[in-house]
Amino acid sequence: MLPQAMRSALLPYLGEVRENPKLFSKRMLIAHHWTLVLLPVGLIAGHVIVTLAIPQFFGPEYSQAVEVFDILLAGWALTLLSIPWYVALQAGHNPWRFTLLIGLVVLAAGISGWLLIPEYGVMGAAWASLIGCSFMLSFSKLLCEDDEKITDGLALFCVAVCYLLSIGSTLALMGLLTLIPAKNSIDYLRSQSGNQEEE
């Protein structure tokens, strides 16, 4: 729900400056930093809430649903990280690229689901969804002609962490490292807020 709300808010925010490439890029960067701030919050809160809620409300026989949710949580993380580029395609001068992106995502998720669901059931569907989300992040950046690599590394890291959560490994605690880029992004956003006040 959060990624969809951010997309809705960002569309007019970026759309109104599409004729000003410098301001468009600046606003995209601000949006990118907000996604980095929200990433650890969503990962931690999502896992903790579902881990506690599913057995409590549905009983221990549904505890395997937490494993599926953890894979879907990785998809949520990739969707969140893709927001600035995804919306830039919608708001930019070439909206046909956005249509191409959606087609690629649907195709990737569809083929993945066709291959994985018969063999792995619900978990296969979760992985197919994650594959679709990874296509959304990768191709939205590619279609925006952005070669920034930090987000790609962070996306792979989130997939690894969520997989480790799904198998109950304590190595998943390394996911707390996402707090480092979040802290750096908070510092950046504060500095931008200070600059706007001075102007």
The residue behind tokens 């894979």 is: 71
Tell me, what's the pLDDT at 198? 40
Tell me, what's the pLDDT at 137? 95
Tell me, what's the pLDDT at 197? 46
Report how far apart the first and last C-alpha atoms of the chain are (Å, whole number): 34
Tell me, what's the pLDDT at 1? 65
Tell me, what's the pLDDT at 64? 82
Q: What is the pTM of this model?
A: 0.91
Give the Cα separation of 47 and 113 in Å (integer): 24
Who's near 102: CB < 8 A, 6+ residues apart?
none
Tell me, what's the pLDDT at 170? 95
Give the Cα separation of 84 and 28 in Å (integer): 6
Tell me, what's the pLDDT at 193? 76
For the chain, count helices (H), then strands (E): 6, 0
Spell out the per-residue pLDDT of the chain, length 199, in tens: 677 888 888 888 888 998 998 999 999 999 999 999 999 999 999 999 998 888 888 877 777 888 999 999 999 999 999 999 999 998 888 888 999 999 999 999 999 999 999 999 999 999 999 999 999 999 999 999 888 888 999 999 999 999 999 999 999 999 999 999 999 999 999 998 766 544 4
Give residue 47's region: left, alpha or beta (phi > 0; psi -120 to 50): alpha
CB atoms within 10 A of CB 125: 18
The encoded tokens of residue 101 equal: 């992106």
Backbone angles phi, psi at 167, to 5 degrees: -100, 5
Buried-exposed string 90-121: b where 16+ CB fall within 10 A, e elsewhere: bbbeeeebbeebeebbeebbeebbeebbeeee
Tell me, what's the pLDDT at 147? 85
Give the Cα separation of 19 and 64 in Å (integer): 50
Tell me, what's the pLDDT at 57? 84
The residue behind tokens 């490994």 is: 169
The residue behind tokens 């969804």 is: 129
